[in-house]
Amino acid sequence: MKEKIRQALSQREKRANKAEGSIPAAVLIPIYKISGEYYLILTKRTEEVNYHKGQISFPGGVLQPEDKALRSTALRESWEEIGLDPKDVEILGELDDIVTATTNYLVSPFVAAIPYPYRFRVNPREVEEIIEVPIAALLDPGNFREEIELRQGKLVPQYFYHYKDWVIWGATARILKQFLEVVSGV
C-alpha cells in the first residue's frame, strides 16, 4: 500500500492555496502497518498550547526561520511534539494546502511512512495524547458526518470523523478527507 500511496500522490497535481496574509505551516501524516492493517497518527493537543486547544490534529506547526522548507517544518514539529526522528520518516508525497478558518494558517500536509513499533516521546506541553487510528475505521461511512455551515456568506462543508471517543474536525478533517480519497482510490 505504501508504494501505491506514493504513486497516487505523485500522479496528482498539488493545489497550492494562496490565502492573503496567511501564515505558512506544515503537518505530517505518519502512517504505519501492523498485522496487515494501516494506521495513522494523530495527536490531541493540550490546553496549554496557544491555538487549537484540546483539538485532534496531525503533528505540525508554523514555518520557522531555521526551516529550509515546509517539509522541514513538518519533520521538525513531529520531532518536537511526538519524538518522531526525521531519519525514521519516509515522505511519500503531499496533499493540497489547507487554510485554517480561525488562525489563517496555510497548512501543507506531507504523507509519510514510519516504522512500527515506534517509541514515541510526547512533549507534554503540546501533546496530551497520541491517537493511533486504523485507516479502515476512517473509511467506514458510519464514522463520517458532513454538515454545511454558513461562513462569510458562503455555504461551506464541514467534515467530522468519529473514532472511539474522539471527534476529528476542522482543517484536520479536511486534510484527512483528501488523504482518504487518495487512499481509497489505491
pLDDT one-digit tens code per residue, 82-93: 999 999 999 999
**Separation between Cα atoms, residue 30 and residue 120, nearest integer Å:** 12
**Separation between Cα atoms, residue 90 and residue 115, nearest integer Å:** 9
CATH number at residue 130: 3.90.79.10
Cβ(23)–Cβ(41) below 8 Å: no
**Separation between Cα atoms, residue 66 and residue 44, nearest integer Å:** 26
Return the C-alpha cell found at 30. 505518519
> Is 31 within a domain?
yes
pLDDT one-digit tens code per residue, 9-64: 998 888 777 777 889 999 999 999 999 999 999 999 987 866 666 789 999 999 99
Number of domains in the chain: 1
> Is 174 within a domain?
no
Q: What is the largest CA-CA distance in the chain?
A: 47
Cβ(62)–Cβ(23) below 8 Å: yes
